[in-house]
Amino acid sequence: MSSSFSNTISRVVERHHGGIKVPDIDHTHGNKPTKFPIPNKVRIPMSMHMGAPCKPLVKRGDEVQVGQIIADSEALLSAPIHASVSGKVTGISVGELDAAGNKTTLIEIESDGKMTPWSEIKIPNINSRQDFIQSVRDSGVVGLGGAGFPTSVKFATDQKIEILIANGAECEPYNTSDYYTMQYRTKEMLNGLKESMKWLNIDQGIIFVEENKMSAVEEIIKLLETKSDQYPNIKVMVAPVLYPRGAEKVVIQMTTGRVVPAGKLPADVNVLVSNVTTLAEIGKFLETGVPLIDKVVTVDGQAIREPQNVLVPIGTEIYEILKFCDLDESIVESVIMGGPMMGVAVGDINSPLIKMNNAILAMTKAERGDCPATECIRCAKCVRGCPMKLSPTIMYKAIMKENLDQAKEIGVMNCIECGACSYSCPADIALVHWFRQAKSAIRTKER
């Protein structure tokens, strides 16, 4: 890779193993979001990121304003939480279940309908790398592509980073929230990328996009070329559509040719990857001082009569969002938080929207296509589709024999749970489910 980039577009070299074709279902293509009405209340979980949950800094009866810090943690792997509406704290409940079925504490705020901004919101003053990293933490931003890893911790690596990749490969069906970011929040995204490169001393920036999002690419290129002095050494790279293009290790190999070894992190090959909406939120915070308090989510699925992108305050109940998009309750079979490939089934649709949500899908029985599993026919489709070059059939057999040591030796811990194997399987074996269970059991055993 050259030492500098021209502000132009290029196509990646097809040099990654695996991947599958999934239906290009997109009912919200290019849609600007509808603004959700101010909710009567929000219920904000203390666990909305990887790592330690936050502890409430407010108590029942307190008045809060939009953007006010209401929870934080002293743990390194954490990110502060802010009020998404103004109003009164009406309850702090401990041990409730979130949308994924995990126990958490929730702060309930009854909205006053005014959305009064917090009086202490201010544009951050940055004079050093540490100031920048602290500002990223203050923004409450985490990995908004779905991982939820605190961005300030990722940026604080001691490794020398040569390339920062803005990941816009929104490769799952239905989801278009990142597409919206690239097309309509282009300046915020580029400013977030530019400032991250500046303060982290990174020489090269790449915006990685799939070729079914060319209208967004056009907006990015237009700004890069008209403001070339403001955005040096940033290049757009476009790839053919193939799932799971958006997986971090796949993105790195596709754009740079570098391979992240098993058990290692992108920083170990001198690369960082950040979701495009994550970078846009950083850009917004640096310009306005407004932290992460709302999300654009794609609401879709055959049980939704009005699929659309919606700008929603964090903590709004999922059921209220579905109703806003005209949910057909007579045919909905399940609700998925995230995409159909890697999303999580929602156990309680009264659960709140969290930071990492980028889509809510209301699926019908026909749409889900559930079939009972049959015996493996050794077709090897799962092997051909695996982007990590694993052997899902052999891992599955080891797990069925309760041989976790063998499953680990074969490489189950390197599984990125993308679902390519399960999707490809003509026997309808829920391979990812078993790999996820095995990984959890292995971690428990090792602890």
**Looking at residue 26, what is its pLDDT?**
78
Query: Which residues in 73-210 belong to E strands, given as ranges?
Result: 81-82, 87-97, 103-111, 163-167, 204-210
Q: In the numeric block, which tokens belong to residue 194?
A: 């530019």
Least confident of 227-231, 356-360, 388-392, 443-447: 443-447
Contact call for residues 314 and 295 (beta carbons, < 8 A): yes
**In angstroms, rounded to a whole number, what is the distance separating the alpha carbons of residues 161 and 347?**
40
Residue 116 has pLDDT above 90, yes or no: yes
Instruction: Give the chain's end-to-end CA distance (angstroms, integer).
Output: 41
Least confident of 25-29, 241-245, 273-277, 307-311: 25-29
**Looking at residue 5, what is its pLDDT?**
43
* Chain mean pLDDT for the chain: 90
Sheet of 41-45: strand order equals 41-45, 103-111, 87-97, 63-64
pLDDT digits (tens, 9 = 90+) for 64-92: 999 999 999 999 899 999 999 999 999 99
pLDDT digits (tens, 9 = 90+) for 32-52: 889 999 999 999 999 888 888
Mean pLDDT for 216-231 is 90
Mean pLDDT for 100-118 is 90
Class of domain 9-31+123-288: alpha beta
**Looking at residue 433, what is its pLDDT?**
87
pLDDT digits (tens, 9 = 90+) for 233-247: 999 999 888 888 888
Contact call for residues 248 and 274 (beta carbons, < 8 A): no
156-159: long-range pairs with CB below 8 Å, 24+: 157/265, 157/267, 157/272, 159/267, 159/268, 159/270
Q: Predicted confidence band at 366 (pLDDT cuts at 50, 70, 90)? A: confident
Residue 188 has pLDDT above 70, yes or no: yes
**In angstroms, rounded to a whole number, what is the distance separating the alpha carbons of residues 356 and 337?**
9
User: Torsions phi, psi of 272, nearest 5?
Assistant: -120, 145
Mean pLDDT for 327-345 is 89
**Looking at residue 419, what is its pLDDT?**
87
> Which residue matches tokens 């919206």?
180
pLDDT digits (tens, 9 = 90+) for 289-299: 999 999 999 99
Sheet of 69-72: strand order equals 55-56, 69-72, 81-82
**In angstroms, rounded to a whole number, what is the distance separating the alpha carbons of residues 117 and 393?**
54
**In angstroms, rounded to a whole number, what is the distance separating the alpha carbons of residues 434 and 167?**
28
Q: Are strands 63-64 and 87-97 parallel, antiparallel or unpaired?
A: antiparallel
- Residue 249: other Cβ atoms inside 10 A: 23
Q: Give the best-scoring range by mean pLDDT among 23-27, 115-119, 177-181, 407-411.
A: 115-119
Domain with CATH 3.40.50.11540 in the chain: 9-31+123-288
**Looking at residue 308, what is its pLDDT?**
94
Query: Model-level pTM?
Result: 0.90
Mean pLDDT for 260-283 is 93
Residues 6+ apart with CB under 8 A from 128: 199
Residue 360 has pLDDT above 70, yes or no: yes
Residue 105 has pLDDT above 50, yes or no: yes
Contact call for residues 375 and 354 (beta carbons, < 8 A): no
Contact call for residues 246 and 166 (beta carbons, < 8 A): no
Range 125-141 burial, b when 16+ CB lie within 10 A, else e:
ebeeeeebbebbbbbbb
Contact call for residues 178 and 246 (beta carbons, < 8 A): no
Residue 24 has pLDDT above 80, yes or no: no
